[in-house]
Amino acid sequence: MDMLKGMNDALSYIEENLGEHIDLKEVAKIALCSEYHFKRLFSLLSGITITEYIRRRRMTLAAMELKESKVKVIDVALGYGYQSPDAFTRVFQSYHGITPSEARHTEQNLKAYPRMTFQLTIKGGTEMKYRIIEKEAFKVAGVKYEVEMVNGVLTPDYEQMFSAISDERMKELEADSTREPRGVIHVTANYSESAEGKAAFDQYIGAAVTQAPSANYSVLDIPALTWAVFEVEGDWEQVEDHWQRIYSEWLPSSSCELAQGPEILASKDEKSEIWIPITEK
Protein backbone atom coordinates (compact mmCIF):
# COMPACT_ATOMS: atom_id res chain seq x y z
CA MET A 1 0.00 0.00 0.00
CA ASP A 2 2.96 2.35 0.62
CA MET A 3 3.83 2.05 -3.05
CA LEU A 4 0.31 3.04 -4.06
CA LYS A 5 0.45 6.09 -1.79
CA GLY A 6 3.84 6.98 -3.22
CA MET A 7 2.53 6.82 -6.79
CA ASN A 8 -0.38 9.11 -5.90
CA ASP A 9 1.90 11.52 -4.02
CA ALA A 10 4.05 11.69 -7.16
CA LEU A 11 1.00 12.49 -9.29
CA SER A 12 0.01 15.25 -6.86
CA TYR A 13 3.51 16.71 -7.17
CA ILE A 14 3.21 16.64 -10.97
CA GLU A 15 -0.18 18.37 -10.81
CA GLU A 16 1.21 21.13 -8.61
CA ASN A 17 4.17 21.71 -10.91
CA LEU A 18 2.69 21.51 -14.41
CA GLY A 19 3.89 25.06 -15.03
CA GLU A 20 7.48 24.18 -14.08
CA HIS A 21 10.18 21.84 -15.33
CA ILE A 22 9.39 18.40 -13.92
CA ASP A 23 12.39 16.22 -13.12
CA LEU A 24 11.25 12.58 -13.24
CA LYS A 25 14.10 11.56 -10.93
CA GLU A 26 12.56 13.82 -8.30
CA VAL A 27 9.09 12.45 -9.07
CA ALA A 28 10.38 8.89 -8.54
CA LYS A 29 11.88 9.88 -5.17
CA ILE A 30 8.47 11.14 -4.06
CA ALA A 31 6.99 7.81 -5.21
CA LEU A 32 9.61 6.06 -3.02
CA CYS A 33 10.93 3.98 -5.90
CA SER A 34 13.47 4.01 -8.70
CA GLU A 35 12.91 6.13 -11.80
CA TYR A 36 12.75 2.98 -13.93
CA HIS A 37 10.12 1.39 -11.68
CA PHE A 38 7.99 4.54 -11.69
CA LYS A 39 8.10 4.99 -15.48
CA ARG A 40 7.50 1.34 -16.27
CA LEU A 41 4.72 0.82 -13.74
CA PHE A 42 2.95 4.02 -14.77
CA SER A 43 3.06 2.95 -18.41
CA LEU A 44 1.80 -0.56 -17.66
CA LEU A 45 -1.07 0.64 -15.48
CA SER A 46 -2.20 3.62 -17.54
CA GLY A 47 -1.34 2.61 -21.11
CA ILE A 48 0.60 5.84 -21.75
CA THR A 49 4.02 7.12 -20.70
CA ILE A 50 4.42 9.54 -17.82
CA THR A 51 5.78 12.14 -20.29
CA GLU A 52 2.66 11.81 -22.43
CA TYR A 53 0.47 12.11 -19.32
CA ILE A 54 2.21 15.37 -18.34
CA ARG A 55 1.78 16.69 -21.90
CA ARG A 56 -1.95 15.86 -21.91
CA ARG A 57 -2.52 17.50 -18.53
CA ARG A 58 -0.67 20.64 -19.62
CA MET A 59 -2.63 20.88 -22.87
CA THR A 60 -5.92 20.35 -20.98
CA LEU A 61 -5.20 23.24 -18.60
CA ALA A 62 -3.78 25.41 -21.38
CA ALA A 63 -7.03 25.06 -23.35
CA MET A 64 -9.01 26.19 -20.32
CA GLU A 65 -6.81 29.24 -19.90
CA LEU A 66 -7.13 30.20 -23.55
CA LYS A 67 -10.89 30.51 -23.11
CA GLU A 68 -10.13 33.67 -21.12
CA SER A 69 -10.00 36.38 -23.79
CA LYS A 70 -7.46 38.55 -21.98
CA VAL A 71 -4.84 35.78 -21.82
CA LYS A 72 -2.15 35.89 -24.52
CA VAL A 73 -1.03 32.71 -26.28
CA ILE A 74 2.62 33.49 -25.57
CA ASP A 75 1.89 33.84 -21.84
CA VAL A 76 0.16 30.44 -21.78
CA ALA A 77 3.04 28.91 -23.74
CA LEU A 78 5.64 30.26 -21.32
CA GLY A 79 3.49 29.23 -18.36
CA TYR A 80 3.74 25.59 -19.44
CA GLY A 81 7.44 25.56 -20.21
CA TYR A 82 7.46 26.29 -23.95
CA GLN A 83 10.08 28.81 -25.05
CA SER A 84 8.25 29.89 -28.20
CA PRO A 85 4.62 30.17 -29.34
CA ASP A 86 5.46 28.00 -32.38
CA ALA A 87 6.61 25.05 -30.26
CA PHE A 88 3.54 25.40 -28.04
CA THR A 89 1.23 25.62 -31.08
CA ARG A 90 2.65 22.40 -32.57
CA VAL A 91 2.04 20.43 -29.38
CA PHE A 92 -1.35 22.02 -28.76
CA GLN A 93 -2.53 21.30 -32.31
CA SER A 94 -1.26 17.70 -32.23
CA TYR A 95 -3.37 17.09 -29.12
CA HIS A 96 -6.51 19.18 -29.71
CA GLY A 97 -6.54 19.20 -33.51
CA ILE A 98 -6.81 23.00 -33.63
CA THR A 99 -4.46 25.94 -32.97
CA PRO A 100 -4.43 27.88 -29.70
CA SER A 101 -5.99 30.87 -31.46
CA GLU A 102 -8.82 28.72 -32.82
CA ALA A 103 -9.41 27.32 -29.32
CA ARG A 104 -10.65 30.73 -28.21
CA HIS A 105 -13.85 30.26 -30.21
CA THR A 106 -16.61 28.80 -28.05
CA GLU A 107 -17.90 26.45 -30.75
CA GLN A 108 -14.59 24.58 -31.05
CA ASN A 109 -14.31 21.08 -29.60
CA LEU A 110 -11.41 20.55 -27.20
CA LYS A 111 -10.05 17.52 -25.38
CA ALA A 112 -9.84 17.26 -21.61
CA TYR A 113 -7.62 14.66 -19.95
CA PRO A 114 -8.53 14.30 -16.26
CA ARG A 115 -6.08 14.05 -13.42
CA MET A 116 -5.17 10.45 -12.73
CA THR A 117 -5.09 8.56 -9.43
CA PHE A 118 -4.22 4.96 -8.68
CA GLN A 119 -6.42 2.67 -6.62
CA LEU A 120 -5.99 -0.95 -5.60
CA THR A 121 -8.98 -2.92 -6.88
CA ILE A 122 -9.00 -6.67 -6.33
CA LYS A 123 -11.64 -8.51 -8.33
CA GLY A 124 -12.91 -11.88 -7.18
CA GLY A 125 -10.05 -12.66 -4.80
CA THR A 126 -8.43 -15.09 -7.27
CA GLU A 127 -5.20 -16.50 -5.88
CA MET A 128 -1.88 -15.88 -7.60
CA LYS A 129 0.71 -18.65 -7.54
CA TYR A 130 4.28 -17.39 -7.57
CA ARG A 131 7.78 -18.12 -6.38
CA ILE A 132 10.83 -15.91 -5.84
CA ILE A 133 14.08 -17.19 -7.32
CA GLU A 134 17.59 -15.90 -7.78
CA LYS A 135 19.01 -16.82 -11.15
CA GLU A 136 22.50 -16.51 -12.54
CA ALA A 137 23.17 -14.68 -15.80
CA PHE A 138 22.05 -16.36 -19.02
CA LYS A 139 21.47 -15.61 -22.71
CA VAL A 140 18.39 -15.44 -24.89
CA ALA A 141 18.84 -16.18 -28.59
CA GLY A 142 16.07 -15.49 -31.05
CA VAL A 143 14.35 -13.10 -33.41
CA LYS A 144 14.55 -9.46 -32.30
CA TYR A 145 12.03 -6.71 -33.05
CA GLU A 146 12.40 -3.02 -32.26
CA VAL A 147 8.97 -1.96 -31.08
CA GLU A 148 7.49 1.50 -30.64
CA MET A 149 4.46 2.16 -28.44
CA VAL A 150 2.35 5.30 -28.88
CA ASN A 151 -0.82 5.63 -26.78
CA GLY A 152 -0.78 1.91 -26.07
CA VAL A 153 -0.53 0.92 -29.75
CA LEU A 154 2.47 -1.24 -30.72
CA THR A 155 4.33 -1.05 -34.03
CA PRO A 156 4.81 -3.81 -35.04
CA ASP A 157 2.10 -5.54 -33.02
CA TYR A 158 2.45 -9.04 -31.59
CA GLU A 159 0.45 -10.69 -34.35
CA GLN A 160 2.80 -9.22 -36.95
CA MET A 161 5.83 -10.42 -35.00
CA PHE A 162 4.53 -13.99 -34.66
CA SER A 163 3.38 -14.31 -38.26
CA ALA A 164 6.82 -13.32 -39.55
CA ILE A 165 8.41 -16.40 -37.94
CA SER A 166 7.92 -19.73 -39.71
CA ASP A 167 6.81 -22.90 -37.93
CA GLU A 168 10.17 -24.45 -38.81
CA ARG A 169 12.06 -21.65 -37.12
CA MET A 170 9.83 -21.88 -34.05
CA LYS A 171 10.74 -25.58 -33.78
CA GLU A 172 14.43 -24.67 -34.08
CA LEU A 173 14.10 -22.16 -31.25
CA GLU A 174 12.33 -24.69 -29.02
CA ALA A 175 15.07 -27.24 -29.72
CA ASP A 176 17.73 -24.64 -28.81
CA SER A 177 16.26 -24.16 -25.31
CA THR A 178 18.79 -25.41 -22.74
CA ARG A 179 17.97 -23.24 -19.72
CA GLU A 180 14.98 -22.27 -17.61
CA PRO A 181 12.56 -20.77 -18.58
CA ARG A 182 12.11 -23.60 -21.09
CA GLY A 183 10.73 -23.58 -24.61
CA VAL A 184 10.04 -20.60 -26.84
CA ILE A 185 9.95 -17.48 -24.68
CA HIS A 186 8.89 -13.89 -25.28
CA VAL A 187 11.22 -11.29 -23.77
CA THR A 188 10.60 -7.55 -23.44
CA ALA A 189 13.88 -5.70 -22.85
CA ASN A 190 15.53 -2.26 -22.93
CA TYR A 191 12.38 -0.28 -22.24
CA SER A 192 12.83 3.48 -22.69
CA GLU A 193 10.73 6.63 -23.07
CA SER A 194 11.38 9.69 -25.23
CA ALA A 195 10.77 13.34 -24.38
CA GLU A 196 7.92 13.26 -26.94
CA GLY A 197 6.02 10.69 -24.87
CA LYS A 198 6.79 7.64 -27.01
CA ALA A 199 7.94 4.34 -25.50
CA ALA A 200 10.27 1.89 -27.20
CA PHE A 201 11.56 -1.56 -26.33
CA ASP A 202 13.16 -4.64 -27.86
CA GLN A 203 11.01 -7.74 -28.19
CA TYR A 204 12.72 -11.12 -28.51
CA ILE A 205 10.99 -14.33 -29.49
CA GLY A 206 13.60 -16.95 -28.69
CA ALA A 207 15.04 -19.42 -26.21
CA ALA A 208 17.11 -19.33 -23.02
CA VAL A 209 20.50 -20.85 -23.87
CA THR A 210 23.88 -21.56 -22.32
CA GLN A 211 25.75 -20.66 -25.49
CA ALA A 212 24.43 -18.71 -28.47
CA PRO A 213 23.49 -21.13 -31.30
CA SER A 214 25.32 -21.00 -34.61
CA ALA A 215 22.17 -19.89 -36.46
CA ASN A 216 21.71 -16.26 -37.37
CA TYR A 217 19.88 -15.11 -34.23
CA SER A 218 20.06 -11.97 -32.13
CA VAL A 219 21.42 -12.56 -28.62
CA LEU A 220 20.37 -10.80 -25.41
CA ASP A 221 22.59 -11.11 -22.32
CA ILE A 222 20.49 -11.19 -19.16
CA PRO A 223 22.38 -10.46 -15.93
CA ALA A 224 21.96 -12.26 -12.62
CA LEU A 225 18.63 -11.10 -11.17
CA THR A 226 15.98 -11.91 -8.61
CA TRP A 227 12.71 -12.93 -10.27
CA ALA A 228 9.09 -13.25 -9.24
CA VAL A 229 7.76 -16.15 -11.32
CA PHE A 230 3.97 -16.41 -11.66
CA GLU A 231 2.17 -19.55 -12.84
CA VAL A 232 -0.85 -19.14 -15.12
CA GLU A 233 -3.18 -21.76 -16.60
CA GLY A 234 -5.40 -20.84 -19.53
CA ASP A 235 -5.41 -19.10 -22.87
CA TRP A 236 -3.82 -15.82 -23.93
CA GLU A 237 -6.70 -13.76 -22.50
CA GLN A 238 -6.09 -15.25 -19.05
CA VAL A 239 -2.35 -14.62 -19.37
CA GLU A 240 -2.99 -10.95 -20.19
CA ASP A 241 -5.39 -10.62 -17.26
CA HIS A 242 -2.88 -12.23 -14.88
CA TRP A 243 -0.08 -10.03 -16.16
CA GLN A 244 -2.16 -6.91 -15.48
CA ARG A 245 -2.98 -8.15 -11.97
CA ILE A 246 0.73 -8.54 -11.21
CA TYR A 247 1.23 -4.81 -11.74
CA SER A 248 -2.10 -3.55 -10.39
CA GLU A 249 -2.52 -5.89 -7.39
CA TRP A 250 0.59 -7.87 -6.49
CA LEU A 251 3.27 -5.18 -6.79
CA PRO A 252 1.34 -2.46 -4.88
CA SER A 253 0.69 -4.86 -1.99
CA SER A 254 4.16 -6.45 -1.91
CA SER A 255 7.50 -5.28 -0.54
CA CYS A 256 9.04 -5.45 -4.04
CA GLU A 257 9.53 -3.10 -6.94
CA LEU A 258 10.44 -3.68 -10.56
CA ALA A 259 14.14 -4.06 -11.23
CA GLN A 260 15.64 -2.71 -14.44
CA GLY A 261 15.66 -5.81 -16.57
CA PRO A 262 13.67 -7.84 -19.09
CA GLU A 263 10.21 -9.29 -18.54
CA ILE A 264 9.64 -12.83 -19.80
CA LEU A 265 6.71 -14.99 -20.81
CA ALA A 266 7.16 -18.74 -21.24
CA SER A 267 4.02 -20.46 -22.54
CA LYS A 268 3.07 -23.89 -23.88
CA ASP A 269 -0.16 -25.93 -23.96
CA GLU A 270 -2.07 -23.28 -21.98
CA LYS A 271 0.45 -23.40 -19.12
CA SER A 272 2.48 -20.24 -18.72
CA GLU A 273 5.04 -18.57 -16.50
CA ILE A 274 5.49 -14.80 -16.25
CA TRP A 275 8.96 -13.76 -15.07
CA ILE A 276 9.26 -10.27 -13.55
CA PRO A 277 12.65 -8.91 -12.33
CA ILE A 278 12.33 -7.46 -8.82
CA THR A 279 14.27 -5.90 -5.98
CA GLU A 280 13.34 -5.83 -2.30
CA LYS A 281 12.62 -2.34 -0.95
Contact 146, 204 (CB under 8 A): no
pTM: 0.85
What pLDDT is attached to residue 78? 92
What pLDDT is attached to residue 211? 80
What pLDDT is attached to residue 280? 82
Question: Which residues, in sequence order, are bridge partners of residue 49?
Answer: none
What pLDDT is attached to residue 225? 97
What pLDDT is attached to residue 151? 79
Q: Which residues of the chain have pLDDT under 50?
A: none
Start-to-end C-alpha separation, the chain: 13
Contacts for 31 with CB less than 8 Å, ≥ 6 apart: 3, 6, 7, 9, 10, 38
Tens digits of per-residue pLDDT, 63-80? 999 987 678 999 999 999
What pLDDT is attached to residue 124? 60
